[in-house]
Structure 1
Amino acid sequence: MSEAHTRRKQPDVVRRALLQEAARIAANEGLAAVTIDSVAKAAGVTKGGLFHHFQSKQALIDGVMAEAIALLEEDVERRMEGDPEPYGRFTRAYVDCMFADLEREDARLWAAICASLMADASLRKTWSDWFTARLARHAETDGALEHAIARLAADGVWHASLYGMEAECGPDRNALRGRLIEMTRRPAMSENTSEDR
């Protein structure tokens, strides 16, 4: 049985290959290099095979962004499930994801993809819509100024790594991560309350 015949029977495998190749091309050559021809060729499928999964180049690019967000969403949810303290839970998970992303084998690839995709206004809106929805969902537990500072700082570390500016993050990235996580915790009540005075 030929590989083409086997792949036809596995549409999810073909779809994933198309997304991965589009992501790789975007990361290595920029968003403009993502074409129907380049992605189909790299994935080893016909243009018709690509169009079976994605009706246009824009649909393919939207699919790459959706995949990146889905991976982040899954990682955030998994980390939140393991955190027993509701206050700041989303922010801690987000910060952990940004720092863990720096350690992943494919981190540079996904970072470059996201940077490339953010050049597109509709994709920025997709990201913004996802993030805004998450903030609204966790407004009660993650709405403090310290939470916003921690998330923005984690984004900054992620972007610094993307641009090869790790030195800007200081000598101990783990200490920085720890400090950001500490900022997400509920402030300790002062031992000297006004009633004690």
Structure 2
Amino acid sequence: MSLANQRKKEPDVVRQKLLECAAQILVDRGLANLTVQAVADAAGVTKGGLLHHFASKQKLTAALFAEQLRTLDAEIDEAMAKDPVAYGSFTRAYVRSTVRGDLNGPCPCAALSMSTVTDPDLRRAWGQWYKARLVRHHDTDGDPELQLVRYATDGVWLADLLAQDGEPPIDRPALIHQMIELTRKR
């Protein structure tokens, strides 16, 4: 009898482990190396076990992207709850969550996020999330100046993805400080 047959069935735990392993493979090896077999091996399950939870690589990446959006959403909500100034609070949280001062380079699932450029389903999911946030925070973050800060944030994120080895790193704390200052009412 194999170890898989002896182990207690915990589908939620296995599903989460698969997502964690997929995220780690993305960070370590990139989207091109995210295969069903590689994720199954990393999680210690059979390929069939993975396919029980995610019917295809596309379903796995969609679930991973949805998990990334939930994490980003929670992080932004937490930052906004701590922000004493309503005006620009979503934009400040978006800047801090996207252009992280504690990371040197792109966020862990940057390769997956980059695939929004080529994958219509992921692009649609991102667009729906972003539009819903803009509608929800229109009263505090609808000014065009704040939109420019969010566009600049996206540009920094893209620059991180396209950076070549050996390029000097950006002074993230200074950049974040300047972007946050732009969100203050004058």
Is 1:160–1:168's contact at 8 Å kept on the other side of the alignment? no
Contact preservation (8 Å) 2:26, 2:34 = yes
- Shift in Å at residue 106 of structure 1? 9.7
TM-score (norm 2): 0.83
The letter of the residue matching 1:53 is H
Find the aligned partners of 1:168 and 1:149 in 2 and give their Cα distance: 23
Q: Taking structure 1 as reference, are residues 105 and 49 closer, same or farther at Cα in structure 2, changes over 3 Å only?
A: farther
- Taking the aligned partners of 2:70 and 2:104, their CA distance within structure 1 comes to 18
Q: Read off the aligned partner of 2:127 and give its amino acid letter.
A: S
Query: Who is 1:14 aligned against?
Result: 14
Secondary structure at the counterpart of residue 109 of structure 2: helix
1:76-112 per-position Cα deviation (integer Å, ceiling 9, x unaligned): 0110010121111100100111122x52499553222
Counterpart CA distance in 2 for 1:90 and 1:64 is: 24
CA apart distance, 1:41? 1.9
Structure 1 residue runs of 5 or longer lacking an equivalent are: 188-197
TM-score, scaled to structure 1: 0.79
Runs of at least 5 residues in structure 2 that lack an aligned partner in the other structure: none
Task: Give the SS at the match of 1:109.
Answer: coil
Aligned length: 183
Partner of 1:137: 136
Aligned to 1:163: 162
AA partner of residue 49 (structure 1)? G
- Greater radius of gyration (CA): 1
How far does residue 29 in structure 1 lie from its aligned partner after superposition?
4.5
Equivalent residue number for residue 44 of structure 2: 44
CA distance in 2, matches of 1:92, 1:46: 43
Which whole-Å CA distance do the structure 1 matches of 2:80 and 2:107 have between them? 24
Post-superposition Cα deviations, 1:148-184, rounded to whole Å, max 9, x if no partner, equal: 1111111222222233366484xx3322211211111
The amino acid that maps onto 1:176 is L
Alignment of 1:109-120 (within 5 A): 109-120=108-119
Of Structure 1 and Structure 2, the greater helix share is in 1
Post-superposition offset of 1:37: 2.4
- Taking a change above 3 Å as real, the CA distance of residues 144 and 58 of structure 1, as seen in their structure-2 partners, is same
Q: Deviations over 1:8-36 (max 9, x none)?
A: 44333311221122233344544444333
Quick one: which amino acid aligns to residue 68 of structure 1?
Q
* Conservation of the 8 A alpha-carbon contact between 1:24 and 1:113: no
In structure 1, distance between residues paired with 2:60 and 2:129: 19
